[in-house]
Amino acid sequence: MAMSSADMARLLVALGLLLLAAHGVGQLFARLHQPRVVGEITGGLLLGPTLFGALAPTLQQAVFPSTGPVAAVLGWSYQLGLLLLMFCSGAELRSVLRRGEVRVVVSVTVVGVVVPFLAGAALARFVDRGALMGAAHSEPALVLVFGLAIAVTSIPVISRIMLDLGIMETPFARIVLGVAVVEDLVVYVVLALALGMVTAPGAQQFGLPAVLHLEPGGAGSLGVHSVATVLLFALVLSIGPRAFRWSRRQRWNVIAEASPVAYLVLVLFAATLTCVLLGITPMFGAFLAGIAASLGRGPRATAAREQVRAFSFAVFVPVYFALVGLQLDLLRHFDLLFFAWFLLFACVLKSASVYLGARLGGEGRTGARNLAVATNARGGPGIVLASVAYGAAIINQGFYASLVMLSMATSLLAGTWLGHVVRSGAPLRDQQPADAPVSPRRRRRAAAAASAGPRRRSSR
């Protein structure tokens, strides 16, 4: 169906303003040594009902209508931006840890995820859930989202912060990314399970749930959804990268030969479609597709991933984050008092848990403190959690605004702290003789080898 000239004009103006605001304010934040993603959301916030809508509500509705062809295309851009962001996040899972760093990562992940999640889920039982709940009216799903909001850590945001600071190749960065990778895997699995508990108002069952005649949100639907999610996740982790590399090398795969970028996009679409047919949230499929493609070897595979990332973060991902900000109405749907204590609770609990986990993992006080601040940045995953839960009607607009603002505030705090540490010349970790701690047995062997070396040379 062809779009009218008036609708085309409104669409071009809307997309142009979103790109201008996202990149313009994002670049301003980058110059101030702050996370670009926070600036992109702020740019969308300025175009939404908080500012533009408050000053010129009629004009704002004309540029960003809630219904019609323009709204449909903007909704498509929002979904595509989310899928590409999840794909790129999955493709980031290539951080290689060294011996001695694994213990810290495991300890920080276990303590820094389990403790905040359980504490957040417990706290949700004592707050007014009716003031946070969306139209789906699912308390179990709301409790899961509440706990995840406390526990989540951002790969894209913290990666960008460390890249801008020039510390991406340090042991500290490897540990942070290792923790963020495992945490994101856990978060997206749990989020997928939470989405299986609800069906957005007006939505119809599709794919496997429809074939099995499962009641939306019922025990049977949740059971099938949980099993399908875990099995698909295990399948992709076990054989996904090998299957991806095998199919890419086959002669019949003319798409991979003609355009590696187009092949990656097709893999993204196929994985997303698989999740849709299984009744799993689509963004989980995009994340798994990124994991499968993350270990593709060779210069062409690497170049293809970088090209997908380049055009994603040039257009669709900034538009997605700007649209997240566009949906915020801080004048009408934002409880400042709730946000203040929620922010304090989330930051203190997450940072204390990570600090404890780092110390239990053998990290010194300096490294544990910096890890506690860095992993407190919720950034992209926190925003994805908020937008997906809001789209599924698990949470209402007020809680959505608080979750987005939580992600922005914690990302600003992490960026400011790490920037101060790096620019001051202070170490990110306590001084260590090597990247990995040396066991007493290895130390004795090294000493014996050093003493034996001169004798062998003298005998010659």
Which of the residue ranges 18-27, 273-282, 310-319, 443-452 would you say has the lowest mean pLDDT? Answer: 443-452
Which residue in 333, 304, 268, 279 sits closest to 82, CA to CA?
268
Q: Side chain identity at 81, as an amino acid letter?
A: G
- Tens-place pLDDT, residues 206-227: 677 777 766 655 556 666 767 7
pLDDT for residue 450 is more than 60: no
pTM of the model: 0.78
Q: Are 256 and 247 in contact (CB under 8 A)?
A: yes
Placement of tokens 């992109």 in the chain: 40
Q: What integer is the mean pLDDT of 186-192? A: 77
- Tens-place pLDDT, residues 44-94: 999 999 999 999 999 999 999 988 999 999 999 999 998 998 888 777 665
Q: Which tokens belong to 206?
A: 């599709």
Q: How confident is the model at residue 282 (pLDDT cuts 50, 70, 90)?
A: confident
CA distances from 395 to 33, 133, 134, 195, 228 (A): 32, 5, 4, 11, 24
The Cα 234–Cα 89 span in angstroms is 18
Q: Give, rounded to a whole angstrom, the gap between the first and last alpha carbons of the chain.
A: 87
CA distances from 409 to 148, 267, 276 (A): 17, 35, 33
- Ordered domains of the chain (ranges, CATH): 98-305+334-428 (1.20.1530.20)
